[in-house]
Amino acid sequence: MSPKRTKQQGSEKQAEPTTLRKIHLRINKVKLILQEKDKNFYNKHSHLFDQLGEPRQRFIDTINLSMDDGTTKTIKLFLVQHNLAFGPGQGVLSFIKHIHLPKGIGNGSLEDAKDMVENLVLKEVEVAAMEKSLYHALHNVKLGGASSSVALLEVKEVNGQFQIVPLELTKTEVARLSREVGYELVKHRIMGPEGFWPEPDNVTTDEQILNLVEDEALRTLLLKHLLTPGDKELLETLDKVYGHAGEENKIGKRFKNTSEVLETPYHDAALMWLKEWRATRRGEKAMEELVSETSKVGKQYKEQVSKTARKYKVIPSIAEDILAVKRFLAVMYQPFRDYKPNGQIVILDTGIAPAIVQGNLSRLKELDKEDVVIICVLAKRLGGSSPKRIEQLCRIYVEAAYNLGAKIVTLCNTMDSNARAIVSKEFSIPILGPIEPAVKAALRFGKAMNIGVIATKATIESGGYVREIKNHDPGARVFSVVAPLLATMADQGEFDTVQPPTMNQETKAILEANLRPLTRKNIDILILGCTHYSVFEQLIHDVWKCCTGKEIHIVDSSKELSLYTLTYLEQNRLLSFRVKHKGSIFSMASKEDTQKFEQGILKITGRNVEVVPMDIGEVVGRLSEKDRLFQKAVVKESKEDVNLRGVIINSGLSAGAKVAIADKLYGAGSIDTSRSNGEILPLELQEEYITEIDKLAAQDKELSKILSHIKELLSNKAK
C-alpha cells in the first residue's frame, strides 16, 4: 500500500475476515470434524482447544532508539510465541513499515488510532507465530511457533486525516536498533540457547541485521550470566572476546561508538556454534528429508496426509490441518516444560513486601544461583479489596510473570487466600503462596493448640488460614485479628533497619493495641499472615512478653514461603543449572512507585538498586480497555485508601483510638464473621475514642471525614 493512507481511503473497502480470524476458523473447523468423526480423541483433548487458540506469550516492549542527530525515537518491539509444546519458539524478525488502516479508524482520537495500529501489528505477528506452529506440527519438526516485529512507522494526523508514515533509518541507526532488539529479548529471558532465536524474513531483515541482533544477544547472555554449564564451549568462546575488550567496554555502555556499532565480535567468534544452531533451529535437516523424493520420512508424510484425508473424507488441505492440530493436542495433553534457559523466581507482592521475601530467599545459599525478579504489583493495599478484584489483579500479574519467563511465582497472603487456587488452574507454571507452609510450620509445635493469626482483612475474611489449619488439625482453635495499619506502617518505613529493627514508641504502642485481643487468649502460636509484618517480628516478641509475661512462638509467613520455595524447586528439579556465577536480581514497579520501592529495598536490604519502571499492559501483551479501566480504578481507590490510613497513623490520636478506628473502617468491624469457622476478634470502638477524634476533627478535614463515616456506620448498625 502507499506509505500514506488517509482515513477516507481506509473506509472505502468493506471489512473482510482477518488472516488471524481465518486461522481460528480453520482450527474450529478441525474441532467440529473431530467432534463428529473422532469422538474418543475429541473427548480426551477437547479442553485444550482454547489453549491452542491463544498464544503462549504476547509481548510488547518499548525501545528508546538513539538517532544519529542525538535525538531519541520511541519504537515498539512486538513478539508472539504461540505454542512451545513441540520445542523452543522459532520464527522471523521483521521490520513493519506499512499497515492497512481499517474502516472506522477516523472516528476516534489520534491516541485511539495509535492503539489500533499497535493492535494490528500485534495481530500480524500473532498470525505469523500461529502459522509457524501449525507448520512445525504438520511436518513434525520439534520447534514451537513464534514471530517478532519492530514497528518502523508513525501515525500522524494531518488536516483531520490519519496517515501511516514509515520511519527511514540510516545504516548506523538500523545497527543500533538491531542491537537493542537482541538486548531486550535477552533481558526479558526470551532469547537464548534454549529459547526464542529469530531469523531474517529476507524481505525487511537480512542476515546482517540478524548478525547484529545475535552479537548483542550473545554479549548480554555472557554479561548477565545466563549461559548454563551445557553451553561450556560457547561460554569459553565468548569469554575470550570479552577478555580482549577494553576497560571502557567492560564496564561502560551497552552500545559502542559509531565506528564500532557495526562490528560483530561475539557473533564472529561464535560463528561455528551459530551455524549449527541455525541449521537446527530453522528445521533445515528435518525439511530436507521431507522434500526428498527418496527419503522414508517424505513418503511417510505424504501417506499420513492421504490417510487422514480418506479417514475424515476431506480435501488434502483440511487433512493437513487435522494432522497438525491432532499432533498439537497429543503433545499438549502430556506434561511438558516450556523451553527456557534457566527460568526465574518471580515474587509478586505489594509495597516493600517483595523485597522482604527476596531478602529471605537470599539467605538460602542453595538459591544463590537463581535469577529472581521482584515485582511491586501495587504500592497501595490489596488487603482491603474484594475477592473478585484480588483475583483479577492476581491473574494479570501472574500472566506478566509468565511472559517474563518465570519458572515459579510466589504470591502474598492476600492473593494466596483469595485467588491462587483459581489462577493456578490457568497457568502451567507453579504458583506458591505462604499459607500452606506457614500452617505446616505452626503445626510442627504440636496439635490441638490455640493459634493466633494476624493479617489483612481480605486474608482473614477469606478463611484461608482457618481452613488450612482445620484440614490438618480439626481440634485446633484459631483466633484472628485484622491489622489494617501495620502494612502501611511498614511501607512508610516505621523502622530503622530489619537486622534488628528499632522502632519508635508510637509504633510499639500501635502494635500493642492491635495485639491486645490476642494476648487475652491463651495463644500458643502466632502466625504473621502478611509478608509486611516480618519487619515487626522482634518487636511483637517484646510486646507479647511485656503484656503476658510469656514468650510466644512466632511463625513468619514470608520466611516459611522462602523455605517452601527452595523445597519445591529441589523436589521438582527446577534449580538453576549454573555452577560458577550467581543469579541476578531484577526489580520492577509501576513508574509512579519506582522511587519509593527503591528506598524501601535500601531500607530492607541495605542495597542500592535500580528499579525498572514497568507498564503491566506491555508485559502482559496488551491489556484490554476493560482491564486498563479496572487497573486505574483499583490504583485510584487504593491510593485514597492508603492515604486515609496514613492520616490515621500520623494523627495525634492515641494508639488505641487509631487501631479501633482502622478496625471499624478496614478490619474485623466490617467483616461478616459468619463466613469463618475461626473466631475473629474485633477491637472495641470505645466512646472515649470517638471523643478523641471529635476533638481533633475540627482541625483536620481528613479526620472529620473519618469521623463522619464512622458515625454513619454506627448509625446503620443501630438501625
Helix, strand, coil proportions of the chain in percent (round to 5)? 55, 15, 30
Residue 48 burial class via C-beta count within 10 angstroms: exposed 0-12, middle 13-18, buried 19 and up: middle
Residue 276 burial class via C-beta count within 10 angstroms: exposed 0-12, middle 13-18, buried 19 and up: exposed
CA dihedral 403→404→408→414, nearest 10 degrees, is -80
What would the mean pLDDT of 78-93 be, rounded to a whole number?
Answer: 89
> What pLDDT does 4 receive?
34
Tens-digit pLDDT profile for residues 297-350: 778 888 899 999 999 999 999 999 999 999 888 888 765 555 454 578 999 998
Query: Between vectors from CA 661 to CA 660 and to CA 663, what angle results, nearest 5°?
Result: 65
Asked if residue 664 lies in contact with residue 656, where contact means CB atoms within 8 angstroms, the answer is no
What would the mean pLDDT of 171-178 be, rounded to a whole number?
Answer: 95
pLDDT band at 641 (very low <50, low <70, confident <90, very high): confident
Give whole-number Cα distances, 163 to 7, 97, 487, 562, 646, in Å.
7, 12, 50, 53, 49
d(CA 443, CA 430): 24
Query: Between vectors from CA 285 to CA 284 and to CA 290, what angle results, nearest 5°?
Result: 95
Report for 222-226, 404-408, 473-477, 665-669: range of highest mean pLDDT? 473-477
What would the mean pLDDT of 146-160 be, rounded to a whole number?
Answer: 89
Average pLDDT, the chain: 82
What would the mean pLDDT of 55-81 be, rounded to a whole number?
Answer: 90
Of 499 and 571, more confident: 571
Give whole-number Cα distances, 705 to 463, 702, 708, 712, in Å.
31, 5, 5, 11
> What pLDDT does 5 receive?
33
> What pLDDT does 338 receive?
52
* pLDDT at residue 186 is higher than 70: yes
Residues carrying CATH 3.40.50.1860, the chain = 344-433+563-622, 436-558
d(CA 18, CA 99): 13
Give whole-number Cα distances, 237 to 99, 185, 243, 371, 556, in Å.
42, 21, 10, 23, 46
> What pLDDT does 296 receive?
76
Q: Coil, strand, or helix at residue 372? A: strand
Where are any strands of DSSP class E within 278-419? 344-350, 372-378, 406-410
d(CA 576, CA 583): 9
Say which CATH topology domain 436-558 has.
Rossmann fold (3.40.50)
* pLDDT at residue 687 is higher than 80: no
d(CA 387, CA 178): 44
The size of the chain, in residues, is: 719
d(CA 144, CA 125): 14
> What pLDDT does 171 receive?
94
The set of cell numbers assigned to 651 is 494523627
> What pLDDT does 414 receive?
92
DSSP string, 124-178: HHHHHHHHHHHHHHHTT-S-EEEEEEEE-EEEEEETTEEEEEEPP--HHHHHHHH
What would the mean pLDDT of 587-605 be, rounded to a whole number?
Answer: 84
Of 389 and 173, more confident: 173
> What pLDDT does 585 receive?
86
pLDDT band at 488 (very low <50, low <70, confident <90, very high): confident
**Phi, then psi, of 678 in degrees rounded to 5:** -85, 175
Q: Tell me, rounded to whole angstroms, the distance of Cα 563 from its chain centroid.
A: 22
Reported as type and span, the H/E element at residue 227 is none
What would the mean pLDDT of 212-238 be, rounded to a whole number?
Answer: 85
CA torsion through residues 634, 637, 639, 644, sign: negative
Instruction: For residue 246, give the nearest of 236, 231, 257, 233 by alpha carbon.
Output: 257
**Phi, then psi, of 385 in degrees rounded to 5:** -80, 165
> What pLDDT does 670 receive?
55
The set of cell numbers assigned to 204 is 525487511
Asked if residue 451 lies in contact with residue 518, where contact means CB atoms within 8 angstroms, the answer is no
The CB-side HSE value for 486 (13 A sphere, CA atoms) comes to 31
Q: Which residues of 62-71 are buried (b: 16+ CB within 10 A; e: fewer)?
A: ebebbeeeee
Instruction: For residue 441, give the nearest of 301, 555, 582 by alpha carbon.
Output: 555
The set of cell numbers assigned to 602 is 535500601
Q: Coil, strand, or helix at residue 315? A: coil
> What pLDDT does 2 receive?
30
Say which CATH topology domain 7-281 has.
Rossmann fold (3.40.50)
Asked if residue 410 lies in contact with residue 401, where contact means CB atoms within 8 angstroms, the answer is no
Tens-digit pLDDT profile for residues 422-468: 998 887 789 999 999 999 999 999 888 899 999 988 899 899 999 99
Instruction: For residue 190, give the nearest of 409, 427, 430, 404 by alpha carbon.
Output: 404
> What pLDDT does 451 receive?
95
pLDDT band at 674 (very low <50, low <70, confident <90, very high): very low
* pLDDT at residue 286 is higher than 70: no
What would the mean pLDDT of 678-695 be, rounded to a whole number?
Answer: 76
Of 127 and 255, more confident: 127
Tens-digit pLDDT profile for residues 383-408: 667 888 888 888 888 888 887 778 89
Instruction: For residue 332, give the nearest of 569, 30, 50, 141 by alpha carbon.
Output: 50
What would the mean pLDDT of 566-578 be, rounded to a whole number?
Answer: 84
Reported as type and span, the H/E element at residue 245 is none
* pLDDT at residue 33 is higher than 60: yes
> What pLDDT does 558 receive?
95
3-state SS of 453-509 is: EEECHHHHHHCHHHHHHHHHCCCCEEEEEECCCHHHHHHCCCCCCCCCCCCCHHHHH
Q: How many helices (H) and strands (E) does the chain have?
A: 31, 19
The one-letter code for the residue type at 360 is N
> What pLDDT does 529 receive?
95
Residues carrying CATH 3.40.50.10860, the chain = 7-281
189 DSSP 8-state letter: T
The residues pairing with 79 across neighbouring beta strands, listed in sequence order, are: 59, 148
pLDDT band at 249 (very low <50, low <70, confident <90, very high): very low
Instruction: For residue 209, give the nearest of 180, 238, 184 by alpha carbon.
Output: 180
> What pLDDT does 251 receive?
37
What would the mean pLDDT of 270-280 be, rounded to a whole number?
Answer: 82
Say which CATH topology domain 344-433+563-622 has.
Rossmann fold (3.40.50)
> What pLDDT does 190 receive?
86
d(CA 429, CA 335): 11
Instruction: For residue 57, give the nearest of 654, 435, 641, 620 by alpha carbon.
Output: 620
Range in 236-245, 247-256, 391-400, 532-541 the model is least confident about: 247-256
Give whole-number Cα distances, 683 to 43, 146, 383, 688, in Å.
55, 56, 18, 14
The one-letter code for the residue type at 274 is L
Asked if residue 667 lies in contact with residue 457, where contact means CB atoms within 8 angstroms, the answer is yes
> What pLDDT does 494 receive?
59
Asked if residue 359 lies in contact with residue 604, where contact means CB atoms within 8 angstroms, the answer is yes
pLDDT band at 681 (very low <50, low <70, confident <90, very high): confident
